[in-house]
Structure 1
């Protein structure tokens, strides 16, 4: 069966349906959320869910609306099932678009619109993969279930509800990441570090979210000497920019680093930790020095938690929020850990290290999420890899693990699978935005190719 050739026959109807979904501004709206009315995340996500299920009803599939939190489209029967987990909610439209974000626009081989990549386009491609299997009357030994969530972008409360009220697939994938296959995702922890010890720092602010490297930080230090020459030397030595000045309430200091995603802190320069380091040494501040010692290394070596995983590579540590205010110091650290270590080991490392400091800094585990790991030699992973290779010709790129997290963590024996291809070459001079960016886009043919890959993968797992 050549699913890629078959997918071409569905091109017009697929993009027509995609436009119908993209036209719906399915952003979470807490002000209008009404769980009792089946709108737990507002009218937009509910409308997108209703529309998607109406498409499936139109095409003769069995559907179910799980109280507005999620919907299912099923094909076939059996106790075992192959699941596809997608989502219909989107992030806010944002500014700067050169295309209409609520319309599918074709330009130079690409398709644009909010959700064409994340995740309406891939979810609909997986649905059309089911449709091809059904239309061709291919025999099945497992039931196929597509589950469409409505709150992936804001914490996946949709899946927490679904898992209590809906059927759980035996195995499957989420079409909301990268090809070829992501079989492992690091565990995620948030550790807070609090202290009320004396410090010369009157005010310190760096970062808004724990999973982003602090791009800029500012502080007010209760001293008279701005130490301008030393500050300039520090900036030049560390590739930073910033400013320092003497004001009535103390020395005002700001630093600018390079932001990056918290799962790859080595790709950024943390302005917050650098500012702590400068204050510690320039003004002999012990609390700043001890915070810096805890936070300075992205591998967590000073805390004794470093670990190079067999499958998932290094543990990473990102201090994404640092604040000093009203005599209280606070830092929130985002940790991505491989499945070779545990939250208990990491927590113990912080506790033992903090006990040895001159300052009284108290660590607390605020959150701990398990890693995802599926055997890369399993039938699930090898079947998906074979489907990917068949239609792309890529037999070189291996299955991978990542530090970020996807919808796949919601179920056991699930992996992330497409639609973004590795080392994809851009074939237009147009700006093509990625997930959450303006002018979000993807090659139109890549969505058709993903449809074929998904059909091949689903049938290899569910077919007789």
Structure 2
């Protein structure tokens, strides 16, 4: 069956349907939360759009109380699942293209969600749509599950697992090819203190899983010497920033956003503020916070390690809030299955106990690592299908620092659509997940449709 031929024939329709999803700014918005819309109006709207699309194509659909939707093909007892998500991270700033519109240019498509995860989720849907149109017989019921809260804690999948049917096995089109059999654990560590600081206000961060790209701190005063130090600090660290004097002095720094799984790809603006203010003002709390958080591997805390399967532990500061005499910092840690969240928390407590500031450590959420045997039938069959279409025999199954829905289910792995080793072949800016100008090569998504269709048939026949 030439699935790539069928996928290419549907290219224009795919782009039209993807645009319907991308134009909805489906970020979590609890201010519009209501019954049937637990994550707000826009997440409800994008779910309705997706389910209506499937109904028009003749699929059976189920609405899991607004937390997720299910698109089913077949009624067999054995089940196979594909897990995608329709929510996105905040748009952020710095776009050169319209973030809420699918823009096609020089072989690439752009828009918030085209890569993470509306584009890949829709590729999974189109794979199932092709199978249905060709009336290919399967021995398992296929369940395409679309969640609405992947980017803000995966509350949608926690609810789904308690209230709906769980597939026997499957994959998640929300990461990389060839196949991801392991995902690091995801730990959120909170640090808080009521110690005094010269910072009157500092509120920075878009989401826990995004490196803070820009930040503003406010202090009561700044001498000419401190202002000179600030400009020297920016120049020596190759960052930009400015000072604005009003009732309070605003100190602004521009860093670089990135996915928290790869904090080394970003430049955390809030940490730069803590470093500068701690040094220029001899502010003890700022110095102590920065001393803990300055290294993305967590060396000052003693949590740096390289796992046997999952490589390095990573640490990213996602939120910094200092106001009204209270400070709170939220840290996103991705850890290999060689350690545990509890062990990391204990090391934070030990590190904080040695500081002058009184800093409390809080476990604000721990998602255990995912690990599927790389020699299992699920992994080996998916690898075989991938190689059939790409002729890539060099890259093997891998583990990642990002977290996907796969960790909420038994016998699930992540499967495409990105190929992170491929170089960008355009002069345009092509942003990654959670970045401005988020983009992906259109041919990669079309190829993914074919791979997913073949994988479903292979594993369900």
TM-score per shorter chain, which class? Answer: 0.7 to 0.9
**1:40-72 superposed Cα distances (whole Å, 9 cap, x missing partner):** 445554454445445444544443333343332
Q: Equivalent of 1:164, from 148, 162, 165?
A: 162
CA contact (8 A) 2:183 2:310 kept: yes
The aligned counterpart of 2:2 is 2
Q: Equivalent of 1:337, from 335, 338, 347?
A: 335
Q: Provide closer, same or farther for how the CA distance between residues 32 and 331 of structure 1 changes in structure 2, counting only shifts above 3 A.
A: closer
CA drift of 1:394 comes to 2.0
Alignment of 1:350 onto 2:348? yes
The aligned counterpart of 1:173 is 171
Q: Equivalent of 1:380, from 355, 375, 378?
A: 378
CA drift of 1:391 comes to 0.9
In structure 1, C-alpha distance between the alignment counterparts of 2:23 and 2:322, rounded to whole Å? 45
In structure 2, C-alpha distance between the alignment counterparts of 1:306 and 1:173, rounded to whole Å? 30
CA drift of 1:349 comes to 0.6
In structure 2, C-alpha distance between the alignment counterparts of 1:79 and 1:195, rounded to whole Å? 54
Equivalent positions of 1:376-415 (< 5 A) are 376-415=374-413
Equivalent positions of 1:52-451 (< 5 A) are 52-89=50-87, 101=100, 109-110=107-108, 115-199=113-197, 201-203=198-200, 205=202, 207-209=204-206, 210-214=208-212, 215-220=214-219, 226-227=225-226, 234-242=233-241, 255-426=253-424, 442-451=440-449
Q: Provide closer, same or farther for how the CA distance between residues 42 and 426 of structure 1 changes in structure 2, counting only shifts above 3 A.
A: same
Query: 1:359 aligns to what SS in structure 2?
Result: coil
In structure 1, C-alpha distance between the alignment counterparts of 2:156 and 2:436, rounded to whole Å? 26
Q: Provide closer, same or farther for how the CA distance between residues 425 and 359 of structure 1 changes in structure 2, counting only shifts above 3 A.
A: closer
**Stretch of structure 1 that moved more, 289-298 or 427-436:** 427-436
In structure 2, C-alpha distance between the alignment counterparts of 1:255 and 1:20, rounded to whole Å? 36
Which consecutive residues of structure 1, in runs of 5 or more, have no partner in the other structure? Answer: none
CA drift of 1:390 comes to 1.2
Query: 2:458 aligns to what SS in structure 1?
Result: helix
Q: Provide closer, same or farther for how the CA distance between residues 169 and 223 of structure 1 changes in structure 2, counting only shifts above 3 A.
A: same
CA drift of 1:109 comes to 4.5
Q: Provide closer, same or farther for how the CA distance between residues 391 and 343 of structure 1 changes in structure 2, counting only shifts above 3 A.
A: same
Query: 1:363 aligns to what SS in structure 2?
Result: strand
CA drift of 1:456 comes to 1.5
Q: TM-score, normalised by structure 2?
A: 0.82
In structure 2, C-alpha distance between the alignment counterparts of 1:266 and 1:167, rounded to whole Å? 39
Aligned residue-pair number: 458
Query: 1:458 aligns to what SS in structure 2?
Result: helix
CA drift of 1:82 comes to 1.4
Query: 2:446 aligns to what SS in structure 1?
Result: helix
**Stretch of structure 1 that moved more, 178-187 or 453-462:** 178-187
**Stretch of structure 1 that moved more, 397-406 or 268-277:** 268-277
In structure 2, C-alpha distance between the alignment counterparts of 1:437 and 1:287, rounded to whole Å? 31
CA contact (8 A) 1:294 1:303 kept: yes
CA contact (8 A) 2:61 2:69 kept: yes
**Stretch of structure 1 that moved more, 141-150 or 5-14:** 5-14
CA contact (8 A) 1:73 1:145 kept: yes
CA contact (8 A) 2:24 2:42 kept: yes
Q: TM-score, normalised by structure 1?
A: 0.82
CA drift of 1:364 comes to 1.7
CA drift of 1:346 comes to 0.8
CA drift of 1:84 comes to 0.5
**1:123-172 superposed Cα distances (whole Å, 9 cap, x missing partner):** 33322322333444544333221112344455444323322221101121
Q: Provide closer, same or farther for how the CA distance between residues 440 and 293 of structure 1 changes in structure 2, counting only shifts above 3 A.
A: closer
CA contact (8 A) 1:226 1:244 kept: no
CA drift of 1:340 comes to 1.1
In structure 1, C-alpha distance between the alignment counterparts of 2:191 and 2:243, rounded to whole Å? 27
Larger Rg: 1
